[in-house]
Chains A and B, each alone.
Chain A
Amino acid sequence: MLGWTWGLLFAPQDAVQGNSYRIIFLHVPSVIFAELVYFFMAICALMHLVWRVKLAAYLIKSAAPIGAMITFIGLFSGSIWGIPTWGTWWQWDARITSTLILFIMYLGILTLHGSFSNLEKADRLMSILVIIGVVNIPIIKKSVDWWSTLHQPASISVSGSTSIDPSMLYPLFISVIGLGFTLISLGILSSRSYILSREKNKKWALKHV
């Protein structure tokens, strides 16, 4: 599975025209998954709070670092992309700001969970924060849009700079799927270690050593 996903990630690079736009194959998928991971966490949080599913909390805890990582990659690749195209590595554009806030939220969730000795309490409070956070994301997106139209009406839109040509679209599509599988396998790995560490007193844990 690993080798396959990596192959998919690398292959499209060669098939495309263009120069620095090649970053798009890392940038766009990672930003997409930055939000998808959060929504996944929010669903888990709901499950944990409403039905008291323990596993959901474990999944949130192991998904949060991955979300933070992928958001960081998205931000980082975007800002490096900005150097040759915009001439600046950072701009207080609507999308960038809201993605940065997303990144901060991931970090906040992680620090919050880390600060409790009673892990069940930590699970519940973290889920509350995640759910409140998911309400916040659309609000942030909208309000930042209003705000930035006031400040810089001619701000560069990230999506507008992509010309949709099939030779670019297909590899992009494939790389989105590829990154998706990569993240899922990473998620499975890290949640496996986390679940084991939380349930290490149970008898079944011994079988999975």
Chain B
Amino acid sequence: MFNLAFKNFNEILDMGGHGIYVWSVYFIGISIIFISFLIAKKRIKEVQKKIILKNASS
């Protein structure tokens, strides 16, 4: 069950001709998730900056 399904690295990339589809889906899907993580983190930083500025000025 935990054996690798493919013999070598090229086969993993190719996947019997379907490699393009599989890897592009995973690449795009995972990068979307990753980017949304980055955006969320950036938002937190922006809000924190705003709060600090507000409290500094008042």
Contacts and interface: CB of A to CB of B under 8 A. Distances in A.
Interface in A53-88: 65-66, 69, 72-73, 76-77, 80-81, 83-84
Secondary structure class of chain B's binding surface, majority of residues:
helix
A77 B51 contact: no
B25 A26 contact: yes
Contacts of A84: 17-18, 21
A104 interface: no
A163 interface: no
Interface string A9-35: 100011111111011001100100000
Contact of B21 (A69, A81, A194): A81
A200 interface: yes
Contacts of A73: 29, 32-33
A63 B40 CA distance: 12
Contacts, number: 98
B53 to A, nearest CB: 10
A167 B5 CA distance: 11
Contacts of B29: 26, 30, 73, 76-77
Interface residues of A, number: 43
A177 interface: no
A76 to B, nearest CB: 7
A193 interface: yes
Contact of A20 (B1, B5, B21, B41): B21
A148 interface: no
B7 to A, nearest CB: 13
Given A20-B15, A84-B18, A200-B54, 5 more contacts: A15-B5, A20-B18, A69-B36, A73-B32, A84-B17
Q: Top 8 A-B pairs ranked by shortest CB distance?
A: A20-B18, A193-B43, A189-B40, A193-B44, A190-B40, A19-B18, A197-B47, A196-B47
Interface of B: 1-5, 15-18, 21-22, 24-26, 28-30, 32-33, 36-37, 39-41, 43-44, 46-48, 50-52, 54-55
Interface of A: 2, 9, 13-20, 22-23, 26-27, 30, 65-66, 69, 72-73, 76-77, 80-81, 83-84, 166-167, 182, 186, 189-190, 192-194, 196-197, 200-201, 205-206, 208-209
21 contacts: A2-B37, A9-B30, A19-B15, A19-B22, A20-B15, A20-B18, A22-B15, A73-B32, A76-B29, A77-B25, A80-B21, A81-B21, A83-B21, A166-B1, A189-B37, A189-B40, A190-B39, A193-B43, A200-B54, A206-B51, A209-B51
